[in-house]
Amino acid sequence: MPNASGPVRPDPVLGSELCQAIRRQVEKLGLEIGDEPVWAEAAFVEQADPYSGERSLVGTWRGKARYGTVTLFPDGRVFAEYQVLLPHPALPGHYVEAVQVWGRAGALKGDPVIAAFAA
């Protein structure tokens, strides 16, 4: 969604809500990732869906301790995944790989992605 003056930045209000939702998913597990992710640090590109042809805006956080992505769909839906990479506080032998957040502004939901440590 670039224009003559450069790339379009997504709505910072939505970005703040999304980043808070990611942190809340981590906090629900009793874990902490500080002020990550930071909306202003995401780099965005436009991507076309290979099946529908719809153009979405895809943001990426990288270059710090964690990696994450967010997709802003043309119909207002969002999907984000952000690495946590911390031991699960209640499941020995498991860790929280990431948290996922999806939905629409004002109605975001989420879940953790939990994995077992390799034996």
Q: Is the pLDDT of residue 91 over 90?
A: yes
DSSP assigned state of 41: G
Rounded Cα distance between 99 and 93, Å, is: 18
Q: Model's pTM, two decimal places?
A: 0.89
pLDDT of residue 4: 45
Q: Is the pLDDT of residue 48 over 80?
A: yes
- Split at pLDDT 50, 70, 90, the class of 59 is very high
pLDDT of residue 7: 57
Dihedral pair phi/psi, residue 19, rounded to 5°: -65, -40
Task: List, in sequence order, the alpha helices (H) in 1-119.
Answer: 12-28
Q: Exposed/middle/buried for 100, CB within 10 Å: 0-12, 13-18, 19+?
A: middle
pLDDT band of 8, cuts 50, 70, 90: low
Between CA 11 and CA 43 the distance in angstroms is 14
